[in-house]
A and B are shown apart, each in its own frame.
Chain A
Amino acid sequence: MLSVTDLQKTYPSGDEALKGVSLDVTGNQTVAMIGPSGAGKSTFIRCVNRLTEPTGGSVELDGLDVTGLSGTELREARRDMGMIFQEYNLIERLTVMENVLSGRLGYVSTWDAFRRKFAGDDIARAYEVLERVGLEDHENNRADELSGGQRQRVGIARAVLQRPKILLVDEPTSSLDPETSRDVMDLLTEIADEDDIPVLINIHEVDLAEEYAERIVGLRDGRKVFEGDPEELDGTARGQIYRGEEIPEGAGPTGKVRAEAGVSGDSTAEEGNIRRT
Chain B
Amino acid sequence: MTDYRTWERRTPRQRIGRYVLILLGIVAAAISWQLLQINYSYLGTAPVEFMDLINRMYPPNVGYTGEIITPLIETVHIAILGTALAVLLSVPVSLLGAENTTLNRYTFLLGKFIISASRSVNVIIWALVFVIVFGSGALAGTLAVAVRSIGFCSKLIAEAIEEIDPGQVEAITATGANPIEAAIYGIVPQIKPAFIGVATYRWDINVRASTIIGFVGAGGIGVELNTSINIFAWRQVLTILLAILGIVIVSEVVSAYLRRKVR
Smallest CB–CB gap between B191 and chain A, Å? 10
In the assembled complex, the CB of B173 is this many whole angstroms from the nearest CB of chain A, namely 7
The reply to whether the CB of B136 lies closer than 8 angstroms to some CB of chain A is: no
A245 CA to B189 CA, complexed, in Å = 48
A79 lies within 8 A of B175 (CB): yes
Nearest chain A residue, comparing its CB with the CB of B173: A51
- B192 CB to nearest chain A CB (Å): 7
**A89-B171 contact, Cβ under 8 Å, with A102-B177, A110-B180:** yes
Interface string of B161-192 (1 = CB under 8 A from A): 00001011011111111101100111001101
Residues of chain A contacted by B172 (CB below 8 angstroms): 91, 102, 105
Given A89-B165, A91-B172, A113-B184, 15 further pairs, Cβ under 8 A: A51-B170, A76-B176, A78-B175, A83-B171, A83-B175, A92-B165, A92-B168, A93-B193, A94-B189, A102-B177, A110-B180, A110-B181, A114-B184, A155-B171, A162-B175
Which residue in chain A gives the minimum CB-CB distance to B193?
A93
B176 touches A89 (CB 8 A): no
Which of chain A's residues have a CB closer than 8 A to the CB of B180?
A: 110
Query: How many chain A residues touch the partner (CB < 8 A)?
Result: 33
Cα A89 to Cα B168 with chains together (Å): 5
Q: What is the total of A-B residue contacts with beta carbons within 8 Å?
A: 81
What are 11 of the A-B contact pairs (CB < 8 Å)? A90-B171, A91-B172, A91-B186, A91-B189, A93-B192, A93-B193, A98-B185, A102-B172, A102-B175, A114-B184, A158-B171
List, in ascending order, chain A residues with CB within 8 A of B178's CB.
Answer: 75, 110
Are B175 and A91 touching (Cβ within 8 A)?
no
Interface centre among B170, B172, B190, B192 (most CB of A within 10 A): B172
Give the docked Cα–Cα distance between A97 and B217 (Å).
Answer: 53
B192: which A residues are within 8 A, CB to CB?
93
A75 to chain B: which residues have CB within 8 Å?
Answer: 176-178
* A→B interface (CB under 8 Å): 49, 51, 75-83, 85, 87, 89-94, 98, 102-107, 110, 113-114, 155, 158-159, 162
CB-defined contacts of B190 to chain A, threshold 8 Å:
91-93
* Inter-chain contact B170/A105, CB cutoff 8 Å: no
**C-alpha gap A219/B215 in the complex (Å):** 72
> Which of B170, B173, B175 sits near A158, CB closer than 8 Å?
B175
Pairwise interchain contact A93-B170, C-beta atoms closer than 8 A: no
Check if B174 sits within 8 Å of A91, measured CB to CB: no
Known: A91-B168, A93-B189, A94-B189. A78 touches B184 (CB 8 A): no
B169 to chain A, nearest CB (A): 9
Residues of A within 8 A of B177 (CB): 75, 102, 105-106, 113
Q: How large is the interface on B (under 10, 10 to 19, 20 to 34, 35 or more residues)?
A: 20 to 34
The prevalent SS among residues of A at the interface is: mixed
Complex A-B, nearest 10 residue pairs according to Cβ-Cβ distance, in ascending order: A106-B176, A79-B176, A105-B177, A89-B171, A78-B176, A89-B167, A83-B174, A93-B189, A75-B176, A113-B181
Please judge, given known A-B contacts A78-B175, A110-B178, A110-B180, whether A102 and B170 are in contact too, CB under 8 Å: no
Using CB atoms, name the residue of chain A closest to B170.
A51
Determine the distance from Cα of A210 to Cα of B167 in the docked complex, in whole angstroms: 29
Q: Which of B167, B168, B171, B185 contacts A113 (CB 8 A)?
A: B185
- Collect the chain B residues with CB atoms within 8 Å of residue A106's CB: 175-177
B245 to chain A, nearest CB (A): 37
What residues of chain B lie closer than 8 Å to A76, measured between beta carbons?
176
A259 to chain B, nearest CB (A): 31
Residues in B with CB closer than 8 Å to A103 are 175
| Cβ < 8 Å to A, chain B residues 172-220 | 172-178, 180-181, 184-186, 189-190, 192-193
Chain B residues closer than 8 Å to A82, beta-carbon distance: 175
Contact check, B174 vs A51: say whether CB atoms are below 8 A apart: yes
B168, B175, B190 — most chain A CB neighbours (10 Å): B175
Contact B168 A78, beta carbon cutoff 8 Å: no
In the complex, chain A residues whose CB is within 8 Å of the CB of B174: 49, 51, 78, 81, 83
- Cross-interface CB contact of A91 among B173, B176, B185, B193, cutoff 8 Å: B185
Chain A residues whose C-beta falls within 8 Å of the C-beta of B165 in the assembled complex = 89, 92
Within 8 A of A (CB), among B130-183: 165, 167-168, 170-178, 180-181
Assembly CA distance A114 to B187 (angstroms): 13
A263 smallest CB distance to B (angstroms): 32
Distance (whole angstroms) from the CB of A145 to the closest CB of chain B: 11
Of B171, B174, B178, B186, the most chain A CB neighbours within 10 A belong to: B174
